[in-house]
Structure 1
C-alpha cells in the first residue's frame, strides 16, 4: 500500500490549504478590533445599520481620512479590514436603495479596500468569506458553537435577521468540517485501492452533509423572509449583472474604468465545490461558468484545494470498478445527501425570495404598501436573480439535476 502512495507522491493532506482541523474553511478566532490607527474604519463599520437608516453613511465616509494599509500585518488583521471595509462599501453603495446608487467609491475607502483585497487575493466587495467565515465571536469562549453563544462582529441593516442569516450560514459551514476532514482519506484510499477506507470516509461525508442540511433549517427560525427580501438583500448585491448599476463601480484612485463584481452567493462556499469535484458532478456549461467565476471570491488557498481535488483519480470510476456493494451504497448515499441539501436550499430560496418577489409584484401592481410595505420596497431588479447575479431558480434546479446524474443506481435516481 505504501509503495502505491510513494509512486504517486506524498499522501494527499489539507496541510497547505489554510483549512482548520476544527473549523474547516471558517477563520479561527477572528479579531474583534483593528489597531488604533484604523479606528475611523471601525467606528463607521460598527454603525452601518443606523447610518444607513439616517441616510448619513455616505457623508461619514466622505469625511473619513485616507489611511495607509501598511500597518496591517497579520492574516487576521487583513481579514477583519476586508470585512469592515466591505460592510462600509455595501452600505455606501446601497444607502438609498436601487434608485440612487453611486458610480464611484471615494478614494479614502476605495484605495485601502483595493490594497487589502490584493494582499488577500480577494475582490473588493463583501464576500461569503467575509460575512460568514470571518464575522463571528463566541460570547463565552469556552461555550458551544450555537446561536445562543454566537455574535456577529459587524452587520448590515436588517436587525436580528442579519445576525441570524450570517450565523446560520456559519453553522452550516461548521457542520461540513467533518466532511472536509474526510476528503484526504477518500483520495488516498482511491490511490491505493483501499475500498474499506473509502467506504468509511464516504459515510462520514454523507453524515456531515446531512448535518449541514439540519443546520440550514435554522434559517426558518432566525431569519424573517420579509426582512431578508425587503431590507437585507440589496446590501448583499453586487455591481455585475445588476440593472441598477449596469456600468459597474469606479474605485477612485485605483482605476478610471468601472469594475464589475458579483454580490454574495452560497456559490462562494468552498464546501459545495469540494463535494462536486470529489463526487464527479459535472455541471452544464452556463452553471459551470458561474460556479467557476465564484471561485475568484474565495481565499486563494481554498480555491487551490478545490482545483487539486479535481485533479485526483476519479472516485466514481473507482467505485464502479470495485463493484463492492458497501462502497457503492456509501457513494450513492453521499450523493443523495448532497441532492437533499440542494433540494432543501431550493425550498429556502423559494420561501425567502420567490414568494416575497411575487408578493412585491402584486403589491406594486395594486400600488398599496400597507401589509407588505417592507417587501414592496425591495429592489425590483433582483426579483428573478440571486445577489450573485444568477437567474436563481433555474440555476439551482440545474445544479441539483446534475448532482442526480452521478448516482450509480437507477433506483436512486
Structure 2
C-alpha cells in the first residue's frame, strides 16, 4: 500500500465539507445565552463528584438522635425476617423489641432540616434505611397482606421526600450517592480516599463492595458529564474545528463507557453472587415489588398506590440516564428505527427507565430535563454530518456492549441464583428452601422494582443498538 492510499478521496472530503455546512441548521451561530450552571442542578464537576455530594453529612443534629441511634442498633441486632426460624428466640426478641421502640417514637418535626439540603439528604437516608429494616426484619408470619409503617417513620419520610422531590423509599441515592465518607478529610475526594457502605443491611464486605462498585461507576461518570458540558458550551457545531472537537468528545465518551464496563465486570471478584442474592438483595425490596411481597401502608399517609415504593435500582443512576439522553436512546419505542422492536421488546416494561427518574433527587431530574431539551441533539447532528456519524455510532456501540455485560451480570447474580440449590453460608437451610419455593412459584426472575429482569435488560440493550445511524 502506498501512503497516498491512506488519504481520503476528494469526493469523500467534498461530502464532509458539504455535511459540515448543512449541520449549521442544528447549531447556534453565537454562544448560547444565559444558561443554568451544573451547580444549579446539584451536579459537581469541579470537585469531581458529579451527582455525589462533596461530602455527605455523617450524622443528624442531636434533636434527631433517636433516628440515628435506632439505625445504629438495627445494624447491630437485626437480621432478615425470612431467615428467622421458630426456635431462633433471640433474633425474634431483638427484632420485636427494636420495632416496638420504633412504634413508640414520637413524630419529630423536620422544621430544623428544611433549609439545609445536606440535612435533608441525611434524614432521607436514615429514615429510608429504618423503614427497610423495619419491614424486612419481620418474620414471614407477620407480613401477610400488608405492613404498616409507623407514623414515627412514615410522617417525616414523606415530608422530607416531598422537599427533595424524590420517592419515600430507599433509593440509589441513599445507598450509593450519599452512603460514603472520606477516609482522610485532608485529602481530595477520590475513590481511594472514600469509604463506601457507611450504612449496611447485612454487614458483609460483599454488600460494601457492591455499593463501592456502583459508586466507582458514578465517579467515572463525572468525566462524561464534563464532556457533555463541553459539547453544549460550543459556540456552534458547524465549523470544521467544532466537528473535530465533537468527534474527540464522542471518542472520549466511548473510552469512559469501556472503563465503566471494566468496573462492572470486576465486581465479580468482590461480590459473591450467593451472598448478594440471599443476604443482601432482599433488604432492597420495596412495597409489592414482587408477587409474594407485602404492600406497605404509611400510617397517617396517603394511599400507598399513589407513591413510588419499588426500592433502589441501578436504573436510578442519573449518570446512565444522562448518557442515554445525550445519545437519544429511545427506551419507550416511540421513534421509528431499525430494526423494528421484536415482540419480546414490546412485552418489556418500556416505561421503566422514565419511572426510575422519580426516585432521583428532584434537582438531578431537572438536570436530565435540561439535557433532553437541548437545541442541538448530537444524534441529529450525526445524521446530517457524516464526519460525526462514525464517532457517534462508536459511542452507541460502547453503551450497547455495556448493556450486554450488564445482562451477563444480572444473569449471574439474580437469574442463576434464583434457580440455585446451593446453600449460602449463614442462611438457615429451612429458610433458604422456603425462599426458593417462593421464587419458583413466582416464575420469572424480577428486579427490585418487580419487573421481569431479563426481558427488560434485553429490551434496553436492543433500544440502545437501534440508536446507531444506519448507512443510507
Q: Same fold (TM over 0.5)?
A: yes
User: SS state of the match for residue 156, structure 1?
Assistant: coil
Classify the secondary structure of the residue corresponding to 2:111: coil
Q: Which has the higher contact order (CA 8 A, sep 6+)?
A: 2
Counterpart Cα distance in 1 of 2:408 and 2:283:
22
In the alignment, what sits opposite 2:381? 318
2:75 is the counterpart of 1:49: yes
How much is the aligned-residue C-alpha RMSD, in angstroms? 2.8
**SS in structure 2 opposite 1:234?**
helix
- CA-CA distance at 1:164 after TM superposition: 1.2
Residue among 28, 43, 52 paired with 1:19: 43
How is 1:119-130 mapped onto 2 (pairs within 5 angstroms)?
119-130=163-174
CA offsets 1:40-87 (integer angstroms, 9 cap, x no match): 101111232333223424223123232111122411111011011111
Are the counterparts in 2 of residues 281 and 406 from structure 1 also a CA contact under 8 Å? yes
Residue among 245, 258, 283 paired with 2:331: 283
Does residue 332 (structure 1) correspond to residue 393 (structure 2)? The answer is yes
Contact 1:267 1:291 in 2 (8 A): yes
The DSSP-based 3-state class of the residue aligned with 1:216 is: helix
Change (3 A) 1:37 1:7: closer
Out of 162, 179, 190, the residue aligned to residue 145 of structure 1 is: 190
CA deviation after TM superposition for structure 1 residue 230, in Å: 0.7
Equivalent position of 1:169 in the other structure: 214
Q: TM-score, normalised by structure 1?
A: 0.88
The CA deviation string for residues 232-254 of structure 1, in whole angstroms up to 9 with x for no partner, is: 111111114432346x3221122
What TM-score comes out, normalization by structure 2 length? 0.78
| SS of aligned partner of 1:204 | helix
Is the Cα–Cα contact under 8 Å of residues 12 and 187 in structure 1 kept in the other structure? Answer: no
Post-superposition offset of 1:314? 2.9
- Structure ID, larger Rg: 2
Structure 2 unaligned regions, length at least 5: 1-23, 80-90, 334-347
Change (3 A) 1:252 1:302: same
1:9-408, aligned counterparts within 5 Å? 9-10=33-34, 13-21=37-45, 22-53=48-79, 54-55=91-92, 56=95, 57-72=98-113, 73-96=115-138, 100-101=142-143, 102-141=146-185, 142=187, 145-146=190-191, 149-189=194-234, 191-193=236-238, 194-245=242-293, 248-255=295-302, 259-260=306-307, 261-285=309-333, 286-312=348-374, 313-324=376-387, 327-360=388-421, 377=435, 380=439, 381=442, 384-408=445-469
Pick closer, same or farther for the CA change 1:282–1:259 going to 2, 3 Å: closer
C-alpha deviations, 1:10-57, integer Å up to 9, x for none?
Answer: 467524211101111112200111101111101111232333223424
Counterparts of 1:359 and 1:402, CA distance in 2: 30
Name the count of aligned residue pairs.
400
CA 1:140–1:133 in 2, change beyond 3 Å: closer, same or farther? same
Does the Cα contact within 8 Å between 2:43 and 2:51 map onto a contact in 1? yes
